């Protein structure tokens, strides 16, 4: 898969309209096979987009997606969202309030939950019902 991109000052979240480059701790992105991309101010908006592709990008299919990246909470590096652990219900907030906190390593998940509470979810477990609890 393609390497993650660095958002430009012009890149806006297609869900909330915020400029994404200033939210370096939470930047999330979807890279399409045609070379285009969209960036988000956090994983919550990425999932809103991904789970409602027909609303936000009616001309796109899930099969058009080449890679999905989120920012690891500890390393602040982009990680593969499909392999990441996500913590919901912690005391850590993102740019839009309650957020899914991405972590790459299983060991980091335990440490994070000890420090900040919450529950672990994997990519495929995140659905609209989960997102509704974050609003």
In this prediction, residues 54-80 reach a mean pLDDT of 97
Could you read off the pLDDT of 71-95 as tens digits, one per residue?
999 999 999 999 999 999 999 999 9
What is the reported pLDDT for 108? Answer: 96
Cα 118 to Cα 71: distance, rounded to the nearest angstrom: 18
Contact (CB, 8 A) for 117 and 89? yes
Cα 96 to Cα 66: distance, rounded to the nearest angstrom: 26
Percent of the chain with pLDDT over 70: 100
pTM comes to: 0.96
In this prediction, residues 39-54 reach a mean pLDDT of 97
What is the reported pLDDT for 72? Answer: 98
Q: How far apart are the first and last CA of the chain?
A: 32
Cα 89 to Cα 76: distance, rounded to the nearest angstrom: 20
Q: What share of residues in the chain are helix, strand, coil (percent, to 5)?
A: 25, 25, 45
> What SS3 class is residue 74?
coil
Is residue 1 scored above 90 in pLDDT?
A: no
Could you read off the pLDDT of 20-45 as tens digits, one per residue?
999 999 999 999 999 999 999 999 99
């Amino acid at each position: 898969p393609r390497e993650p991109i660095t958002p430009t000052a012009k890149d806006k979240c297609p869900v909330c309209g915020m400029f994404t480059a200033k939210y370096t701790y939470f930047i999330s992105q979807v890279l399409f096979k045609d070379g285009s991309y969209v960036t988000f101010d956090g994983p919550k908006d990425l999932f809103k987009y991904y789970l409602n592709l027909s609303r936000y990008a009616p001309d796109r299919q899930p099969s058009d997606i080449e890679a999905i990246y989120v920012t690891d909470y500890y390393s602040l590096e982009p990680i593969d969202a499909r392999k990441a652990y996500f913590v919901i219900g912690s005391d850590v907030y993102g740019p839009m309030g309650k957020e899914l906190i991405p972590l790459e390593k299983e060991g980091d998940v335990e440490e994070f939950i000890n420090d900040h509470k919450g529950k672990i979810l994997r990519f495929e477990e995140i659905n609209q019902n989960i997102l509704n609890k974050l609003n």
